[in-house]
Structure 1
C-alpha cells in the first residue's frame, strides 16, 4: 500500500509540474483557438493538426499550440465522412494568433464521427445520466464506466450480454428463463431494468442493435434512480440511438458459428429542409442455434425514433422499441443437495448436452415507448419531462434441471403466460446558477412508477434420469409428454400491482473552481397492493413503506480538469414486506456505501483512469427467527467491500486500450447459522479482470486495417456456499481476437471469441459458448 501511495503521489506531483505555465521562449509565437459545431456548441475532443504537432480541444472547444517558430502554418481538422477544415495561420514572434473555427457538423453529428487521427475513441465518459445534470467525470464523486459504440463495433457484438465483457466487475452473464439477464456490480446481482435513465422494465431478451452506449453506474444509487430498478451494487443504463441532422444509412450482416445469421440496419433522415423534424429507425433480424444438441434463438427488432424541434427552446423526442423473441430456455442447473461432488467440472455432465428439446420453446414480446420533452425555461433553468411505457410477455415453455444425485437429474418445466406492464412519469428541473458568488448545479425531480403482472403457470416435473447415461429417456422431454402431464398439474394464477412515488433534489456546489460538494436526498413512498388470487378472491402481502435516501460527495481537483480526489457516501434501499412474530412490519433494507479514490484525465485525454476503494454495509436483512419457527427477524447484516480500477488509454495514434480489475470481499456478518461469516454465492468471483487492446493503421495503403485482442478472467466462485453444502464454479480465462478493415464507405470484420476453447459456467451453471468465429460486413451509405 505504501508503494501505491508513493506512485500516485509521484504522478500527481509530476502532472502538477507539467500543468504549470512555462515561461515563453524568445523568438517564438503561439496559436490559440476555439472550435464550434454548426449549431454553435463547443466541439470537444476534436483533433487539430499543424505539421508534426496535434492537440485535442477541451470541453470548451479550445486548443493551444505554443513555442512555435515564426512563419506560416496550415491548420487541419479531418473528420471521417465530412469536409475537412483547412486554414493558413501566420505566427509572429512573441505574439499569439487567435482563431475561431466552425465545423460543418452539429453536436450530435460530431458524436457520431470517428476522428482520423486515432485519438482515444474509447474515452467517452461525459454523460448527463449519472448525476442527471451536466457534470464531467473528473468532477463527479461517483464511479461509472461507459461502453461505447466504437468498442461494440470493433468486437463484432451480436448479443447484448457480450457487451459486459468491457465492464469492470460484471462477470459472466446470468441469463434467466425468459432470456432476460443480470450481472454483477460490487458483489450484488444487478438486473438490466434501466433504459434512457428511467424504467426499461422488460422481462425479455435485449437486442443491442438500437444501443448507443451502455453506462455501468456503481454503488447504491437510490437517490436519483428508482430503487426497485437497481441493486445495492449499482445499475446498468441502456442509452438508445437518437435521430441526427444528417442523412445516413448503414446496413450490416454477420455470419458466425452455430448457424448465426444477423442482419441489422440503421437509417437516419431529416424530414424537412430546416432539419427540425428528424427520423431514425434501427432494426435487427437474428437467428442462431446453440452449440449444444438443442437450443435456438430467433428474434426481430424494430426501433423507430423521432425528434421535433418546435423552436430553439422546445424539443420533443419519441423513442420506440418493439421486438419478438422465439427461443428455448437457457440452461439452468441446480446441483443435488445430497451429492458428494463439489465442483461443476468434476460432475461429469456432457458440456454439449442440453437435456431439453427444441419443441419446448417460448415466445416473448416487448414494447418499450420512451418520450421526452425538453424546454429551456430561462438561461438558468431547463425542464425535462420523461415518460415511459413498457410491456413484455412470455408465452410457452421455460425449463430447468434439478440435480437429484451426483449422476441423476429431473427435468422441470413451467408452461407460462406471464405479461408485465410498467409506467413511469418523471419531471426534472435542472438549473445552473450562482448564489452568493458560488456556482450551484441543481436538479429537482418528481417520479411516479407503476408495475403490474398477471401470471398463469403450471409446473410439470418429469421422471428422474441418469445424466451420464440417459439412454432413450433423453428423448422424453418434449411437448407431447409435458402437455399430457400438464392436464393434471396445479396452476399458479395471480396478479400483482405496485406503485412508487418519489421526490428528489441534488445540488453540486462549487466552493472553489477546484472543490465541489454534492448534496442529494430522495424521499420514496412504496405501495404494494399485494398478490391477488382469483380462485379465492383474496389478496395477500399488501404493505406500504416510506424511505429516505441521502447522498453526499466531495471532489477536489488537484490539477484542474486533469486529476481529482473524490469521496462519496451513498444510500440505497430495497422494500421488504412481511412482519415478525410480534406483528411488527419490516422496514426497507438499507445499503450505505462510503468510497474514496482518484480520477485521471491527462495527457490531452490520452489517459483516463479511476481507482477507488468502497465499503457497502447492508442492514435490515431478514433472517430466520431462532426462537420462533416459521418467522423471521430483521437484524441481519451484510458487508461488501473492495477495489475497482479502470484504465482507458491511447498512448500513441491508432492504439487504444480499455482495462479493468476489481476485487470484492463480501460476507454475511449477521445471518442464519448456515451462512454466517461466509461469502454469498451470488456475489460471484472475488477477482475479475477485463482488457481490450486494439491498433489500426493510420497511414499508407493499408490505412484502416486494425487488430484487436482481449481477455477476461474470473477467479473461482460458488453456486452454493453454506455450512452444509459447498458447490464451486472454477476460475476461467477467455481470450478474444479480431481483425477489421474500416473505410468511409464500408467495414469488414472477423472476430474469434474464446480462442482457447475454455469451458466455463455462469452462476446458474449454464455452459458458455466454446470457440466461435464471426464475420461481418457493413455498408455505409
Structure 2
C-alpha cells in the first residue's frame, strides 16, 4: 500500500508539472507564426478528419468538424501544403509564411476514382484519437465541452490489432475487464464496477441476445456513469453503457476483402463494399459481411457464424435524408463454460480446484443456434440553420434454440452438469423523436436536444432443465463423460413432467420524455442541464399453460443530469464536473404491502480533459462517486420478503491517454481503480466488495509504430497488454472464492500499403491462464495471420 501511495504522489507531481507546461505552451503558441485555414469539398462542405502537413517539416494537423486547421510554430519561408483525405484527390498548394503573420488558406478537394487507403497509413498524426461524436450528448458537442467521460475504440485500432471477435475490442477500454460470455453467445463487461451488457446500437436499442460480429463496427463507444437521462435505463448499467456504432455509406467507391486464418482452425472472411448508386450521390449503399468458423482450444467446442449488414442513404434534397441500416446473422456454437464452486469445500481459488483447463465438460452435439435481425432507420430533416428533426426507429429480433450448459461443483472433486434446452425468442421495438437546436437567448448560446421515446420488449421462454449424473472433474472417467451427448440429454428431457418446463412470456413498455440543454455562460464556461421522465409498464409473466399472469406492475421515474465544463485553455485543457442519475425498475412489495420504488444510482464526478500539442495528446482523468440506493435485501424478520433500504457505493479513479509523441508512434493506455462495497445489504455481505464488481485494479496498453518514409514505408509493429488484479467469484462473510490476477501480452507486425495489407498477430504471448467472472477459461496463445485487399 505504501508503494502504491508513493506511486500516486509521484504521478500527481509529474502530471501537475505536465499540465503547467501544457498551458504555458498553449499560450505561447498564440505568438508564433502559424498557418490557418479550412478544407472543403468542391461543393463547399467542410471536411472533417483530413490530413494537412507542410512538406519537409514536422508541422501537421487534422481538420476539425468545421473543416478548419492550424499549423503552429512555422518558420518564415515558402512551403508546399499537402492535404490528403480518403476518396479525394491529394491537393498540394504553394504558400508563403511571413514573420509575425498568420497565413490563411482554403483548400478544395475533388473526388477521385483512384481509391487510396486511409490517410492514417501515410501520416503520423494521432490516428486513434477520434473523440468527436454526437452519441454521448445526443447533439454535436466536442469532447472538451462535454462533462461526461467516454472512450472511443476506432475501426483503425481494431484493424491494427487484427480483431476477429467482438469481445477482443474491449481490451482497449479502461476498466472493461475480462468479458463474461453468456449462454447464447451474448456478452457483458465491466464499467465502474458494474456488469454492463451490450444492448445499445447506434445510440438506441440493439437488444439482441446473441453473438455480435465486429465486421460492421465503425467504432465502439464506452460511455461512463449512470446515463439514464439520455438512454433507456433498462438497457444500461449504473456504471454506463457500450454503444456499438455501425458502418454507414459514404460517397467513396471502395471495396475491401479480408481473410484471417489462425490457431484452433480459425477461418474468417469479411467484406466491405461501399458505392454510390446514383451519379449525383443522392443514393448510397454499403454492404458489410462476415463468414467465421473456429474450434475451441478445449476438447470440445466450436463457433460458426454468418453475418450480412446492408445499409442505404437516400438524400431527398438538401434538407431531408433517410438512412436504413440492417444487420442479420446466424450463429451456431457450443455453450461457454459457467462454473459454480462448492461453497463448503476446501478450495477457495479456481487454481486450487484442480479442474482441467482444457476440459469443456460438454459435447459438440450439445450445440445451439441463434439468429438475429436488427433493423435501424433514421430520418434527418433540417428545419433551418438552427433546428433539425431526427427520427429513429429500431426493430430487433433474436432467438436461441438448442442446448446451453452450467456446471456446479457438489464436492471437492465432483461436479454436476446441467443443460437447458432453449427455445427463446426476443422481440424489441424502439421509436424516438428528437429536435436538436443551436440558438441564442439574450446573447447566450444554447445547444439543446429534446425528445420522446417509446420502447417495447417481448420475450417467450420454453425451457426444460436436465440434470445429469455427477462427474469426477479431477479424475475424469470416460463412462461419466459419455453422458455428455444430445441423446442422453433428450432421453432425460422426454421423461420430465410438463410443470418442470419454464414456459412463460414477458412484455414490457417504456414511455419517456427528456430534454438536455448546454448553455455557454461564457466562451470557456458551459453548463449542461438535463432531465428525463419515464413511465414503465411490466405486463408480468404470462404462463400459457395456466392462462395467468403474475408480477405485473407500473412505475414512474425521474432522472436529472447536471454538468459543468471550464476550458482553462480553449479546446485544449478542460476542467469538468457532473452529477448524473440512472435507475432500474423493480417490481414486488414488502411484507406490509408497500410497492417497491425504482432503484436509483447517483454519481458525482470531477476531472480534467486534455487535447494538447495539436491533438498529439488526448487524456481524461477523473474521480467518480456512485451511490446506489433502494436496492433490495432480505427481510430478517419475514422469510421470503425483502426490504428496500439496501445501499451500494462504488467510487474510484479512471485515466486514459491517447498519444502520438512523434510521427509514426501511437499509444493508447488506460488505468482504473474501483472501490466498491455494500453499505446496507444482506447480513453476510455488508462492507464487502460485490463479486460482480470485478478486479479493483485494471490497466490496458497498446503501442505501435509504423515507418512513414523510405523503402520500408508501411511496415508497422505493435505490442500491448492488459492487467487485472485478483477478483471474486463469490464474496460473503461465510464463503469467499477468488479469481487470480492476470497479465496478458499481445503483439503484431504488419505491412500496410494503399492496395493491400498483410499482418500477423500473437495474442497471449506468455500463455497466461486466466478466467472470467463465470470461471470460464480464457484463450491461451493464439496466432492469427491476415491479408486484406483494397480496390
State the TM-score, normalized to the length of structure 1: 0.97
1:32 aligns with 2:44: no
Label 1:101 to 1:343 Cα distance change in 2 as closer, same or farther (>3 A): same
More displaced 10-residue stretch of structure 1: 64-73 or 342-351: 64-73
Equivalent of residue 683 in structure 1, options 681, 688, 693: 693
Q: How far apart are 1:400 and its partner, in Å?
A: 0.9
Label 1:680 to 1:111 Cα distance change in 2 as closer, same or farther (>3 A): farther
Equivalent of residue 475 in structure 1, options 468, 473, 482: 482
Equivalent of residue 398 in structure 1, options 401, 404, 408: 404
Equivalent of residue 322 in structure 1, options 321, 324, 328: 328
Alignment of 1:178-217 (within 5 A): 178-217=184-223
The question of whether the paired residues in 2 share the 8 Å contact of 1:515 and 1:554 is answered with yes
Equivalent of residue 284 in structure 2, options 274, 278, 289: 278
In 2, the alpha carbon distance for the partners of 1:425 and 1:473 equals 52
Q: How far apart are 1:89 and its partner, in Å?
A: 2.1
Label 1:130 to 1:22 Cα distance change in 2 as closer, same or farther (>3 A): closer
In 2, the alpha carbon distance for the partners of 1:14 and 1:455 equals 60
1:257 aligns with 2:263: yes
Residue 368 of structure 1: aligned partner: 374
Residue 5 of structure 2: aligned partner: none
Residue 662 of structure 1: aligned partner: 672
Equivalent of residue 16 in structure 1, options 23, 26, 46: 23
Q: How far apart are 1:306 and its partner, in Å?
A: 0.4
1:47 aligns with 2:52: yes
Count, aligned residues: 776
Label 1:557 to 1:359 Cα distance change in 2 as closer, same or farther (>3 A): same
In 1, the alpha carbon distance for the partners of 2:551 and 2:75 equals 78
The question of whether the paired residues in 1 share the 8 Å contact of 2:769 and 2:780 is answered with yes
Label 1:64 to 1:169 Cα distance change in 2 as closer, same or farther (>3 A): closer
Label 1:702 to 1:113 Cα distance change in 2 as closer, same or farther (>3 A): closer
Residue 72 of structure 1: aligned partner: 78
Residue 3 of structure 2: aligned partner: none
Residue 508 of structure 1: aligned partner: 518
In 1, the alpha carbon distance for the partners of 2:31 and 2:299 equals 72
Alignment of 1:370-389 (within 5 A): 370-389=376-395
Label 1:634 to 1:571 Cα distance change in 2 as closer, same or farther (>3 A): same
Q: SS state of the match for residue 437, structure 2? A: strand
More displaced 10-residue stretch of structure 1: 13-22 or 762-771: 13-22
Gaps of at least 5 residues in structure 2 are 1-7
Label 1:83 to 1:171 Cα distance change in 2 as closer, same or farther (>3 A): same
Q: SS state of the match for residue 130, structure 2? A: coil
Q: SS state of the match for residue 352, structure 1? A: coil
The question of whether the paired residues in 2 share the 8 Å contact of 1:80 and 1:115 is answered with no
The question of whether the paired residues in 1 share the 8 Å contact of 2:121 and 2:752 is answered with no
Residue 616 of structure 2: aligned partner: 606
- The CA RMSD measured in Å over matched residues stands at 1.7
Can you list the C-alpha shifts for 1:621-658, whole angstroms capped at 9, x where unaligned? 11011111111010000000000000000001000000
The question of whether the paired residues in 1 share the 8 Å contact of 2:29 and 2:72 is answered with no
Label 1:571 to 1:404 Cα distance change in 2 as closer, same or farther (>3 A): same
State the TM-score, normalized to the length of structure 2: 0.96
The question of whether the paired residues in 1 share the 8 Å contact of 2:89 and 2:111 is answered with no
Q: SS state of the match for residue 609, structure 1? A: strand
Q: How far apart are 1:6 and its partner, in Å?
A: 4.7
Gaps of at least 5 residues in structure 1 are none
The question of whether the paired residues in 2 share the 8 Å contact of 1:401 and 1:410 is answered with yes
In 2, the alpha carbon distance for the partners of 1:24 and 1:644 equals 35
Q: How far apart are 1:185 and its partner, in Å?
A: 0.2
In 2, the alpha carbon distance for the partners of 1:111 and 1:16 equals 36
Label 1:501 to 1:84 Cα distance change in 2 as closer, same or farther (>3 A): same
Alignment of 1:241-640 (within 5 A): 241-471=247-477, 472-489=479-496, 490-640=500-650
Q: SS state of the match for residue 765, structure 2? A: coil
Residue 237 of structure 2: aligned partner: 231
In 1, the alpha carbon distance for the partners of 2:251 and 2:87 equals 14
Label 1:703 to 1:580 Cα distance change in 2 as closer, same or farther (>3 A): same
Label 1:115 to 1:436 Cα distance change in 2 as closer, same or farther (>3 A): farther
Label 1:610 to 1:94 Cα distance change in 2 as closer, same or farther (>3 A): closer
Can you list the C-alpha shifts for 1:216-243, whole angstroms capped at 9, x where unaligned? 0000000000000000000000000000
In 2, the alpha carbon distance for the partners of 1:186 and 1:68 equals 43
In 1, the alpha carbon distance for the partners of 2:690 and 2:220 equals 27
Q: SS state of the match for residue 20, structure 1? A: helix
Can you list the C-alpha shifts for 1:84-122, whole angstroms capped at 9, x where unaligned? 21111234566544221112259xx99964362211010
Can you list the C-alpha shifts for 1:733-769, whole angstroms capped at 9, x where unaligned? 0000000000000000100000000000000000001
Alignment of 1:680-759 (within 5 A): 680-759=690-769
In 1, the alpha carbon distance for the partners of 2:249 and 2:106 equals 28
In 2, the alpha carbon distance for the partners of 1:215 and 1:694 equals 21
Label 1:183 to 1:70 Cα distance change in 2 as closer, same or farther (>3 A): closer
In 2, the alpha carbon distance for the partners of 1:776 and 1:449 equals 41
In 2, the alpha carbon distance for the partners of 1:441 and 1:222 equals 20
Q: SS state of the match for residue 482, structure 2? A: helix
Can you list the C-alpha shifts for 1:525-574, whole angstroms capped at 9, x where unaligned? 00000000112111100000000000000000000000000000000000
Q: How far apart are 1:500 and its partner, in Å?
A: 0.3
Q: SS state of the match for residue 14, structure 1? A: helix
1:766 aligns with 2:776: yes
Alignment of 1:70-149 (within 5 A): 71-79=77-85, 82-92=88-98, 95-104=101-110, 113-114=119-120, 116-149=122-155
Q: How far apart are 1:476 and its partner, in Å?
A: 1.3
Label 1:39 to 1:193 Cα distance change in 2 as closer, same or farther (>3 A): farther
Label 1:31 to 1:226 Cα distance change in 2 as closer, same or farther (>3 A): closer
Q: How far apart are 1:12 and its partner, in Å?
A: 3.4
More displaced 10-residue stretch of structure 1: 464-473 or 278-287: 464-473
